[in-house]
Amino acid sequence: MKARKNRREFLVCMAGTLASSAFCTSSQALAPSPPDYQLEISPLRLEIAPRKTIATVAYNGQVPGPLIRWPENKPIRIQVTNRSDVPEIVHWHGLFTPSEMDGSMEQGSPMIPPGATFVYEFTPRPAGFRWYHTHSFAGHNLKRGLYTGQFGCFYLLSKRDPGNYDQELFLTLHDWNAYMAGGGDASMDAAYDYATINDRMLGHGEPIRVA
């Protein structure tokens, strides 16, 4: 009797072990792969020149956002976390993408609520220099959308034309502190106080050094 009881306990234990092992294997198989890039949308105080600071929103605490440098036609996963206080979205400009991954509301892409995370998955093409940026609607709020520092460079490498150069330089131009020219909303013409190359005003950035 005792031998049969021990055998039953052993079989129950083995069944539990096998089920646990199968669950672990299944969970591992279903676990998503880690993102290739991570972007965090959050407020930033950006010093564009000595004693000149802009209150804005940016990616990963920098302007422009981090360079995404990726081979053409290779699948990519980009995780975006929204640390701002309004819904946001990221558009991959100049790329052929599925509508839900395009990063524009009119194409059916979802907004990312404050505090939420969304993973964009697509196979980027065609090769060449592209960029990514917010696609949220600013309306009359000149502190939202592309009036902010939410933009970055996206460079897709081509196998056919690798390029013949000694160094890469990615420069972005941006205007800051927008206001309505003419003193009223009726004009809908924006004017700006400052302009930058990447994150600094002209004369205050690191010089480009060449031979």
DSSP states along 67-84:
EEEEETT--EEEEEEE-S
Residues ≥6 apart with Cβ < 8 Å to 180: 142, 187, 188, 189, 190, 191
Residue 209 in domain: no
pLDDT exceeds 80 at position 18: no
Q: Please state, for a pLDDT cut of 70, what percent of the chain lies above it.
A: 82
More confident residue, 138 or 7: 138
For the residues 52-71, what does the mean pLDDT come to?
97
Q: In this structure, is the dihedral angle defined by the CA atoms of residues 120, 126, 132 and 136, taken in order, positive or negative?
A: negative
Q: In which domain, by residue range, is 109 found?
A: 37-171
Is the residue at 178 inside a domain? no
- At residue 46, the 3 state secondary structure works out as strand
Position 160 scores a pLDDT of 83
Other beta carbons less than 10 A from residue 29's beta carbon? 7
140 part of a folded domain: yes
Cα 58 from Cα 133, distance rounded (Å): 10
Helices (H), the chain: 2-30
Within-domain flag for 203: no
What is residue 92's predicted lDDT score, i.e. its pLDDT?
98
pLDDT of residue 12 exceeding 90, the answer is no
71 pLDDT band, cuts 50/70/90, is very high
Residues 157, 182 contacting (CB under 8 angstroms)? no
How many residues does this entry show for the chain? 211
At residue 5, does pLDDT exceed 50?
A: yes
Residue 66 confidence (pLDDT): 98
pLDDT surpassing 90 at residue 189: no
Mean per-residue pLDDT, 168-189? 82
d(CA 80, CA 102): 13
Q: What's the confidence (pLDDT) of residue 11?
A: 47
Q: Is residue 120 part of a domain?
A: yes
Percent over 90 (pLDDT), the chain: 69
For the chain, what is the domain count?
A: 1
Is 131 within a domain?
Answer: yes
Check if the beta carbon of residue 84 is closer than 8 Å to that of residue 168: no
Q: What angle do CA 85, 88, 92 make, to 5 degrees?
A: 155
Looking at the domain assignment, is residue 143 inside a domain?
yes
Over residues 168-191, the mean pLDDT reads: 82
The enclosing domain of 87 has a CATH number of 2.60.40.420
Q: What is the rounded average pLDDT of the residues 182-197?
A: 78
Question: Mind listing the pLDDT tens digit for each residue in 93-110?
Answer: 999 999 999 999 998 999
CA pair distance 66, 43, nearest whole angstrom: 16
* Number of neighbouring beta carbons within 10 Å of residue 138: 15
CA distance 73 to 33: 18
166: in domain: yes
